[in-house]
Amino acid sequence: MFLYRRTPQLPTPQEALRGRPVPEFTVPARHTVLGNPLLGPYPEGLETADFALGCFWGAERKFWQTDGVWTTLAGYQGGYTENPAYEEVCSGLTGHTETVRVVYDPETVTYAELLKLFWESHDPTQGFRQGNDVGTQYRSAVFTHSPGQAAAAEASREAYQRVLTASGHGEITTQILPADGRPFYPAEPAHQQYLDKNPAGYCGIGGTGVSCPVGVAPAEG
């Protein structure tokens, strides 16, 4: 039984649940929509990006519907608990946020274009919530896999802040952090491509209605 935090607050490493050295489930072999393997190693030439923008059910669908995306995977990232369970993440005692891993072909869709989709698909000013979903596991974050991704994410955040401010919105709370040292833990099989399996299922993803500039980020590398 977990003690759920009434007010969202990130735990310290000492407060976080311990977790387990190996997951208690097996990730499905293939994506139910795209048909490609969920886990790597991935084909040469593909790149990986990690985005957290609220409930991963709707967030994952946003990305798998994008041309050039090879596979997507719902999971947990940014916290301390090893191989967490969904109930543990919901307790607020893991430090993780619900994240979508996006494996994509940069010849078809650029990282800058994925960032534009990320910013426009949620409200990045809400802190530990997204719409009616409240908790540290719903915070906005980008976990970068290269200096180029980090520079692009920072530039796009600055550009989007300018247009959000001009439209009367508040400050972006999105974390931009290196993925290195912040393992991505796949979520349980039921959460993978959830809205494909449950077309009428809940989706709490919704943007601000403010368009994000694209092409402002430096070249990836």
Residues labelled catalytic: 55
Bridge partners of 144? Answer: 178
Other CB atoms within 10 Å distance of the CB of residue 29? 9
Q: For 155, how many CA atoms within 13 A lie in the half-sphere containing its CB?
A: 17
- Residue 42: CB partners within 8 Å, gap ≥ 6? 48, 70, 71, 103
CA–CA distance, 102 with 65 (Å, rounded to integer): 11
Other CB atoms within 10 Å distance of the CB of residue 13? 9
- Residue 34: CB partners within 8 Å, gap ≥ 6? 64, 69, 70, 71, 72
Question: Strands across the sheet with 140-144, in order?
Answer: 175-178, 140-144, 47-53, 97-104, 69-77, 185-186
